[in-house]
Amino acid sequence: MKAENLFHLPRLPLSEELVTILVENETVWIERIISTGQVTNWYDQDENEFVSLLQGEAEITWADGSTTKLIAGDTLLIPQHKRHQVSYTSSNPPCIWLCVFWK
């Protein structure tokens, strides 16, 4: 087996987020996401999502207008159909996310 290092980054900055699926099956998958200033459209996911921000700073905006600021080491559980968007990601340092999705 080959070890993977979550902190091994591609050449930066990125023009768009880099999503790498680390593990997946029919009901659960784990992604590493690298963000360098990108923001997202609104999400309304069918899956639950556990988010861990390993590096960087980010902000999640919720449908009611409230925000959650994240720093390295923070985790967040986003229930399915909880409408949200990533409204800020740092570029220096880049954000490294570890996300677990399940149905």
Q: Say what the pTM is.
A: 0.93
Predicted local distance difference test score (pLDDT) of residue 15:
87
Domains of the chain (ranges, CATH numbers): 18-102 (2.60.120.10)
What is the rounded end-to-end Cα distance, in angstroms, of the chain? Answer: 28
Predicted local distance difference test score (pLDDT) of residue 10:
81
Predicted local distance difference test score (pLDDT) of residue 1:
84
The series of mean pLDDT values per 10 residues for the chain, 103 residues long, is 88 87 96 96 97 98 98 98 98 96 95
How far is residue 89's CA from residue 40's CA, in Å, rounded to a whole number?
10
Nearest to 36 by CA among 73, 67, 11, 60: 11
Neighbours of 92 (CB within 10 A): 9
